[in-house]
Amino acid sequence: MKIVRTRRGARMVDGRDVLSEIRASPGPTHSLFDILAAAMAGLARGPRCAVLGFAGGGVIAPLRALGFEHPVHAVDLSREGEPLFRELCGAWAGDVRLSEADAAVWLRRSPQPYDIVLEDLTLPAPGGAVKPYISIDELPPLVAERLTPVGVVIVNLLPYPGMSWSALIARVAAPHANACVVECIDFENRLVVAGPGLPSSARAVASALRRALRDLSSRQATRITAHRHP
């Protein structure tokens, strides 16, 4: 992993993959992190927030710019990106608590259910980052169990070796009666948003995300689509 200083802050890069786009002030990154933050702020119906896979906290600048001021409880296998995050964001990021642990172990030990969960785990691979096996096996039912009655989970999906997109999405969405898939024109990533607090139509989900992206003045505001699953 290397750190590239930018005009707005810094970027954590692993090969071709951008692990975090870290701004030195709240605002848009014009990247996938804006879409993740828009989903969190636009779909949250309560204050209790968990982030699984923190890296350098790239989602925090757009999230705070959208007015989401609640504490963020985050977990990652490594604290490698935390010093850079604290350097650039510590003065304004608010209450961001990072634990170094396995996401499933941390979630089981967490004393509270969550209104919004971002699952953003990745695994380095020769051809580019992929989702770890825990994201399609252990975490989907566990996260579903830890959602409040108005909770929503956002899963940032990347390919998984040997699985088609449809099979991967089906595995992640399986524990939920209500799920949508958000596709991003500029990125291969697909988001599965699901849970009891999700709006009942894909149109409402897309509208909530686009509204948040417009409020953020992000260039991604016209670059997403959503459809129901299945």
> Phi, psi at residue 102, to the nearest 5°?
-70, 135
Residues with Cβ within 8 Å of residue 193, at least 6 apart in sequence: 39, 43, 152, 153, 154, 155, 179, 180, 181, 182, 205
Give pLDDT, residue 223: 98
Bridge-based pairing state of the strands 224-229 and 179-184? antiparallel
- How does pLDDT run along the chain (230 residues), one tens digit per residue? 899 999 999 999 988 889 999 999 999 999 999 999 999 999 999 999 999 999 999 999 999 999 999 999 999 999 999 999 999 999 999 999 999 999 999 999 998 999 999 999 999 888 888 999 999 999 999 999 999 999 999 999 998 989 999 999 999 999 999 999 999 999 999 999 999 999 989 999 999 999 999 999 999 999 999 999 99
> Phi, psi at residue 185, to the nearest 5°?
-60, -35
Looking at domain 25-229, its CATH superfamily turns out to be Vaccinia Virus protein VP39 (3.40.50.150)
Q: How far apart are CA 34 and CA 171, in angstroms?
A: 25
Give pLDDT, residue 124: 87
H-assigned helices in the chain: 32-43, 60-65, 82-89, 103-109, 139-145, 165-173, 202-216
Assess contact for 113 and 150: CB atoms under 8 A: no
Enumerate the domain spans of the chain: 25-229
Give pLDDT, residue 15: 84
Assess contact for 154 and 172: CB atoms under 8 A: no
> Phi, psi at residue 9, to the nearest 5°?
165, -105
Q: How far apart are CA 119 and CA 155, in angstroms?
A: 5
Enter the tokens of residue 95: 């209450």
Cis peptide before 230 (omega within 30 of 0): yes
Q: Tell me the Cα Rg of the chain.
A: 16
CA-angle at 72, arms to 15 and 75, nearest 5°: 50
Q: How far apart are CA 69 and CA 44, in angstroms?
A: 12
Assess contact for 90 and 113: CB atoms under 8 A: no
- The burial class, CB within 10 Å (0-12 / 13-18 / 19+), for 177 is exposed
